Structures are given as C-alpha cells and as structure tokens.
Structure 1
Amino acid sequence: MDLAKFVWLLKEKRLFMSRLDKFADPYEGSLTKKTIEGIDLFLRQHGSKDSWAEMSNMYRENQSSTFVCCWHGNEQESEAMWRLYCGSGHGIAIQSTYDRLVETIKEQLETYVGCVKYIDYEREWFPDANAFYPVMHKRSAFAHENEVRLVCSPSSYRLMPLEQRPTSICIPWDSTTMIERVYVDPYAPEYFYNVVQSIVSAFEPSISPRLFWSQMKAAPLF
C-alpha cells in the first residue's frame, strides 16, 4: 500500500473494502464458460425463455454489491508483489496472519474470509450455484497473487439502485493486535523509512518494534 493508505489505516483503525465491479479484472465475480453453458442448458430444458440472460443479471447484481479486501498469502516476500503494487518504490507491506483475519470478521455480519482458487475459465466449472464461487475464484493468470480475501456482501445493498450503492465500505480493525509486522519497500530511499517510522510513532507507537526494512534490502555478503 502507499503511504496515504497506511496513515489512514492507523488513524481510522479500519480495513478498506472495494466493490468488486471496480476492480481492474473484468472477470471478477463472473462464472466460467462451462458453468454458463451448463446453466443455460438446464434452464432451456426446464422451459425458460430467457435461459442464461436472466441469471446473468443476477450475477452482475452480486458483483456490484460485494466488497473485497485483498491480502497476499505467502511465507516469504514476493519481489513481484512489491513491483506490482508499490511500483514507485515508496510502498509499505503489512503482515498479519490468517487467524487474525478470522478474528477481524468474528463480529462482522455477512463478512467472510477465504483463499482464492485459480482455475482455467475456459475448461473448468463451478459445481453448484453458490454465489461465493465466482468471488473466490480467479483465472490462472493471476495465480501469482496467492490471494486471501475478506468478502462482505450486505443484503441491504442488493435492494438499492446501482447509483446509490457505495463503491467501498470499511470494517473495524485493531492495528495494535492485528499487525504482526510492517515492512518498508526495498526500493525506497533511506529517508522514506524514517518517514514511516515517524508516522508509526505518532499514530500507533505500540507497533514501532515491529517496523522493518524489507528483507530484500539486505546487502549481499560477497
């Protein structure tokens, strides 16, 4: 994340969740080709005139009323993720755990956590009509993200006209207990680390001992 989002997180003690149809990937929340063909055939066999078209609108509605917070699930740092999401060399990575994310949503209604599965959208299909399958699956080309998602789909928003639905929502998040470590971009200049250190000291001093340079910053031994 960038510095502004990090400051906001510490000050507000909330996690930001973006609406699914605002993501760059147009496949977010969509079904696979084989799944659509199967649904279409089933509906035609049971006398539906609109077949898939009617169901398609339902999934588009779900896309515009579902909110997601994305995490990279890995035991080690990823140079690719630093480059993709902190391309300017002024990024910050927050490390937490899956158990802490579960704890985050324990008292949040209609909010869930899980690992994204990456599949071939041309050849594979979803086994049933579970509305979360399209949200928790992505194309194989995105497998490098190894994503863990917090997902919130408030039923009240599905009753709103599209233009009245918020493009993002936030949920409470206690950064004091939920943050395990904070890492500073390995490509950032030296002064940037000092800026981040000052911000942590000002807004969340309890996590100051958990602030580190990225491990990729270490110099080689030869």
Structure 2
Amino acid sequence: MSFEVFEMLLNSQSLYFSRFDKFDDHLEGGINSKNFPSISNELRILDGAMNSCWPGTSPRGEQELVKMQETQHEIASETFQSIFGVQKKVNGNAYLRNISSWLYANCWTDLPYECQAMWQLYGSSGGNCRHETGCEECKRTVGNSVCIETNIGAILDNLEFKEGFNLSIQKVEYLDHRLTKFSDNDLISRPFFSKALHFSYENEVRFMLWPDRQDIEFSYKYNKSTRNEEGSQVLHIKDVEALIGKIILSPLPIKVTKKIIDPYKDPCSSKLGLQDSLANLALREKVKSLCVRNNVDIEIVESDLNQVSTSDCYTYAGAMK
C-alpha cells in the first residue's frame, strides 16, 4: 500500500472495506456464463413469449389458456438460493446487476515472499512508469510505499466486528468465467470468492462483509431494487501493534536504484556497501516517525528485492548472514 494509505490505517486504527462494484475488475461479484440459467429464467420468459404463453399474447382456446397460465405460474415461482436468502428467478437479472453493490472486501496477499508486481500495482500508482524523465505521479509515489505482514488470527483477534454484518474469510480461486460452472449450492457465495485467471498473481485471501438483512429486494421492474447508499465499511482495530507483525519498506525507484548501482559495475570494483546504499532510508524515517506518533513499536525491515548478486567475498559474506 502507498505510504498515504498506511498513514490513514495507523491514524484511524481501522481497516477499510471497499464495495465490490468500486473495484477495477468488472467481473467482481459476477457469475460464470454457464450459471446464468441457475439464477435467471429470462430465457424461459423469452421462449414463452415466442410460443404464445406469456402476458400480451393471445391464446387460441380454453385449453391453451390453461396451459399458458400454468406456464406463467411455474416461471414466476422459480427461485434460487442467494446470500440474502431465497430469490425469484424473474428478478435474477436485477440480482446479477446489483448484488456487488451490497458486498465489501478487504484483500490480502497470501505469499511467503514479496511480489514485484504487487509493489508496482498496489504500492504506487506510478509504479509502472518507465519513461526516462519519469512523471509527476511516479516521482510522488514510487519508492514511497510499504508492505505489512500479518496473519488471519491476528486480524480476527484485533478487529471490532460491526453489528448487523456478516463476515466470511476465504482464499480466492482463479478461474475462466466462460468455462467454469458452479453447483446451485455454490452460487450462494462462491462467485464472490473467485476472480478471473488474469489476477492469479495476487494470491488473494479475502475478508468479505455483507449486511445481515433479509429485506433487500432485487426487482425486475426498473429502479425498484433496494439501493445501497453506503460506499464502504470501516472496522476499528483494537490493537494495531498486535495486528501488524512487520513493516517492509518498498525498494527504491528503478531510476534511483540504477544510479546507485552504476558506479559498482566496474569489473574491478567491489560491491561492498551496495546493499546498504539501496536501503530506503528516507521512507524508514517517515515510517518510524509515524509509528512513534501513534505509539506503536513494530519491526521495520528493508525490501528483500534489494538483494545484491554475489561477486566477491564481501557480497558472499553479506548473503550468508
């Protein structure tokens, strides 16, 4: 996360849960294509209309009228199980369009090591800039972010849970939305803990909040569905120091790192001192100062991406520490 986000976390002593429909991934909260008939009977309604058994069509006799009414009743009665209880399939399209507006997530990466892609994508908005002169966003944010280490137990022990909300924690699975089909029971929550294969580098563990309510309506009638006006949720942290096990400082910006490394490239020169030169000292001071202001004592370490290749006895000794 950027330093600004980390600063807000410490100052507010809270975890921020984003609403699903605010995520960049437009497939968040959506179902797989093969599961559409499990939630919506729009195809049956269209078929019924084309075969003269739906309102607005004219039956050609009493027997046909009875059959039409039976079909209409059957279609109108079809239901599916959802995270908000039983829903009618005639409202399925409205459910698919609106369900993500009722769900909130706080996301973590489940890896035993740092990930360069995560530094670039979540550590700073200018992280992918490769322009020789850089850009303003790059100058402001690159090399100015942190990674915080924790575990699920520490989070659960130190979060104040919100009354009137449910919480579920699951590892996200990555799949092809065109090819995968869930069982009807899985449709209750599994879609909300799955993402497209293209995001598999995230190795996400997701904390999901949703209102503990049964009065939320999804209606096929235009603009009749219950609307959610709460754009996010925030849960208070009881003990920030107990929740965060370690703070990892981001590597320096690529252009800065290049300037530091270049003098060490002479085949005759030693890389002694290079490891220390790559330390993000300015950020360390900012993080230390922030921790002191918030009265927390948390271990701060340099990024493992600062490793220096072994080329002499000094770098060998450093690597063996």
Which TM-score bucket, shorter chain as reference?
0.7 to 0.9
The corresponding residue for 2:155 is 101
* Number of positions where the alignment pairs a residue of Structure 1 with one of Structure 2: 219
Q: What does 1:1-222 correspond to in 2, within 5 Å?
A: 1-40=1-40, 44=44, 46-48=74-76, 54-86=91-123, 87=127, 88-104=142-158, 107-108=161-162, 109-129=165-185, 130-155=187-212, 158=216, 161-162=226-227, 165-173=229-237, 174-187=239-252, 189-207=280-298, 210-222=299-311
> Which blocks of at least 5 consecutive residues in structure 1 are unaligned?
none
Question: CA shift at 1:98, angstroms?
Answer: 2.3
Q: Which moved more, 1:94-103 or 1:174-183?
A: 94-103
Residues 61, 158 of structure 1: 8 Å contact kept: no
The whole-number CA distance in structure 2 between the counterparts of 1:98 and 1:146 is 15
**Deviation digits for residues 92-148 of structure 1, max 9, x if unmatched?**
111101222343458444112111111111111121254321210111111111101
- The aligned amino acid for 1:63 is S
The whole-number CA distance in structure 1 between the counterparts of 2:158 and 2:98 is 26
Residues 13, 236 of structure 2: 8 Å contact kept: yes
Change (3 A) 1:152 1:122: same
Q: Which moved more, 1:96-105 or 1:146-155?
A: 96-105
TM-score normalised by length of structure 2: 0.61
SS in 1 for 2:75: coil
The whole-number CA distance in structure 1 between the counterparts of 2:198 and 2:94 is 26
The whole-number CA distance in structure 1 between the counterparts of 2:42 and 2:96 is 17
> Which blocks of at least 5 consecutive residues in structure 2 are unaligned?
45-70, 79-87, 128-141, 218-224, 254-279, 312-321
Rg bigger for which structure? 2
Percent of residue pairs identical: 24
Question: CA shift at 1:204, angstroms?
Answer: 3.5
- CA-based RMSD of the aligned residues comes to 2.8
SS in 2 for 1:169: strand
TM-score normalised by length of structure 1: 0.86
The whole-number CA distance in structure 1 between the counterparts of 2:4 and 2:42 is 49
